[in-house]
């Protein structure tokens, strides 16, 4: 029963410690009492020095395993055990004037160096997993850990959720490189309002959060005016700021442009007495509700969360009811946007897009119900609906011609990050008899932010089935290139926000060219979405983009229209 109290990692770690310590003691014992003895094992004769060498190498491997299992605790334990072995080796030299253990000493020193290198690698990886790539601030994972710790200690605090207004438009106008530059500038600006115990985070996109430590009422003196409320501190930095955008070559100052950046913020206070009713997600949700209130009032840049704001969730609930009714009553339908080879305009396949038509004929934009669905598990039901219906509609067509055609379907981060996603896809393929090679799952870089391990596992399982994987909106996220290089992706999709400016902005064109080049290095094909005119098309042809998707060659089509186009191409 006691073994059940330990995890497999803990048991493995304890076994490594035990055998490493046992090896050190055994090596010292053999060196002391059986120094010149040869051990006979059947037809083999092993000198005592050879056995000690085997033990020393085994101990080094065990110490490395400790660091791999638990890098912080493992590093300390491994260093102690390795130094203990080093002490035994030195005692042998001092006591017996025997330098035969000198090679073992070098082996121990190399072990220490190896342990230090592995530890530094894991430490940097751990730091990167908790740090935003662009700003260097702590990320959402760190936010959950820090806020959860404050709540568990029942300390009062205030959470501010701050957003750069119209950041997508700034990104579209100036490009993602300038967007990153703006995010860095804002991070430094916000850091200026922090006191000693405050922490700033980069949550996602252009959203920051600041954890303000509040004085404990039980220890705060009425006459103590040293504490400055978060509202006061934030009010000083929420004013619009003109940022000079540097020229591309950083030389010609006449090419600098001005960019006006405005911030808005929502605050949520957490009372220590009500700590049990909070968690990191709830308090962030409250701060985001206050932030959303500022967007409804252009003259207000800062709002504090109140109970009344919870009523603003009514629209969210209404959207959820619409989704449930649409799934139950078949109000959803699919349209298909064609994808073509850039050079010869041959049909590659279709991207599947969902639409909603209410019984009264009203068309509901996906921009209304998809964001609401993504906040709940309803997005997974929508994904499943689209997957099953697209497979069902296109299976008869594919079977009749035998021509390859890719049906590309967007899948939410929540879905691809769920443990049974690959199994559900496999079941759908078997149910519909849809050929896996004709199915392409589109995911976004955001899919790797919360459930990296499960997402990669699902991708590998899908690849094993024969399903293709596309990375959507490439160029808008911050996933490291090192991670992307390890992923088994077939296709990179260049986001429309980059394509919009390739005619007028050489920097954006260079960026698109780099993305295409990078995709080909990763052995991926590259598709550009949102291609709307011939000039954009010609530029993409010139830069060897494999496929295009957009109004220039094809708007989203109904099922019958898509079927006709497919048969025509076949």
Mind listing the pLDDT tens digit for each residue in 366-375?
988 998 898 8
51: pLDDT strictly greater than 80: no
Mind listing the pLDDT tens digit for each residue in 179-220?
888 888 899 888 888 888 899 999 988 899 999 988 876 555
Q: Residue 257 is encoded by which pair of tokens?
A: 């442009």
pLDDT, residue 506, reads 87
* 524 vs 130 pLDDT, higher one: 524
**Chain center to CA of 119:** 23
- The confidence band for 100, taking pLDDT boundaries of 50, 70 and 90, is low
Mind listing the pLDDT tens digit for each residue in 457-492?
999 999 999 999 998 876 555 555 666 777 788 999
pLDDT, residue 388, reads 95
| Vertex 136: Cα angle to 230 and 516 (nearest 5) | 130
Q: What is the DSSP string of 121-176?
A: HHHHHHHHHTB-TTT--B-HHHHHHHHHHHHHTT--EEEEEEEETTHHHHHHHH-H
CA distance 479 to 345: 32
From residue 286, give the alpha-carbon distance in Å to each of 161, 290, 472, 570: 9, 6, 30, 54
72: pLDDT strictly greater than 50: yes
18: pLDDT strictly greater than 80: yes
Mind listing the pLDDT tens digit for each residue in 411-464?
998 899 888 899 999 999 999 999 999 999 999 877 776 677 888 899 999 999
178: pLDDT strictly greater than 70: yes
Say what percent of the chain tops pLDDT 70.
83
């Amino acid at each position: 029963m006691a073994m059940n109290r330990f995890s497999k990692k803990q048991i493995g770690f304890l076994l490594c410690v035990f055998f490493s310590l046992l090896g050190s003691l055994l090596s010292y014992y053999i060196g002391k009492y059986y120094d010149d003895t040869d051990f006979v094992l059947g037809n083999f004769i092993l000198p005592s020095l050879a056995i000690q060498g085997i033990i020393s190498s085994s101990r080094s491997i065990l110490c490395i395993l400790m660091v791999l299992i638990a890098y912080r605790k493992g590093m300390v334990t491994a260093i102690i055990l390795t130094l203990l072995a080093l002490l035994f080796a030195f005692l042998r030299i001092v006591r017996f004037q025997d330098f035969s253990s000198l090679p073992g000493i070098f082996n121990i020193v190399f072990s220490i160096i190896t342990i230090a290198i592995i530890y530094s690698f894991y430490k940097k990886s751990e730091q990167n997993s908790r740090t935003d790539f662009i700003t260097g601030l702590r990320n959402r994972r760190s936010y959950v850990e820090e806020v959860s710790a404050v709540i568990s200690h029942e300390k009062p605090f205030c959470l501010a959720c701050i957003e750069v207004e119209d950041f997508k438009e700034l990104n579209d106008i100036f490009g993602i490189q300038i967007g990153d530059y703006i995010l860095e500038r804002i991070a430094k600006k916000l850091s200026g309002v922090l006191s000693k115990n405050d922490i700033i985070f980069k949550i996602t996109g252009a959203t920051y959060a600041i954890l303000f430590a509040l004085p404990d009422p039980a220890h705060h003196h009425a006459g103590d005016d040293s504490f400055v409320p978060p509202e006061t501190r934030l009010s000083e930095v929420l004013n619009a700021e003109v940022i000079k955008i540097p020229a591309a070559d950083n030389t010609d100052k006449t090419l600098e442009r001005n960019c006006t950046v405005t911030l808005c913020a929502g605050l949520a206070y957490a009372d220590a007495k009500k700590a049990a009713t909070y968690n990191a997600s709830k308090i962030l949700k409250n701060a985001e509700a206050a932030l959303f209130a500022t967007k409804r009032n252009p003259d207000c840049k800062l709002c504090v969360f109140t109970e009344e704001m919870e009523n603003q969730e009514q629209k969210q609930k209404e959207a959820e009811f619409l989704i449930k009714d649409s799934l139950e009553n078949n109000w959803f339908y699919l349209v298909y946007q064609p994808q073509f080879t850039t050079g010869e305009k041959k049909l590659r396949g279709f991207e599947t897009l969902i639409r909603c038509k209410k019984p009264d004929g009203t068309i509901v934009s996906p921009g209304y119900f998809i964001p609401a669905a993504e906040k709940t598990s309803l997005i997974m039901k929508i994904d499943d609906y689209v997957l099953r219906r697209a497979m069902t509609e296109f299976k008869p067509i594919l079977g009749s011609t035998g021509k390859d055609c890719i049906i590309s379907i967007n899948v939410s981060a929540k879905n691809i990050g769920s443990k049974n996603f690959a199994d559900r896809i496999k079941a759908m393929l078997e149910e519909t008899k849809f050929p896996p090679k004709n199915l392409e799952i589109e995911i976004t870089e955001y899919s790797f932010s919360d459930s990296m391990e499960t997402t990669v596992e699902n991708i590998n399982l899908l690849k094993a089935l024969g399903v293709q994987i596309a990375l959507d909106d490439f160029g808008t996220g911050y996933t490291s290139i090192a991670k992307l290089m390890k992923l088994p992706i077939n296709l990179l999709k260049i986001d429309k926000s980059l394509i919009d400016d390739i005619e007028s902005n050489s920097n954006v064109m260079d960026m698109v060219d780099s993305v295409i080049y990078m995709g080909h290095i990763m052995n991926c094909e590259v598709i550009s979405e949102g291609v709307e005119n011939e000039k954009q098309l010609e530029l993409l042809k010139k830069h060897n983009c494999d496929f295009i998707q957009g109004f220039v060659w094809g708007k989203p089509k109904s099922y019958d229209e898509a079927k006709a186009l497919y048969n025509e191409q076949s």
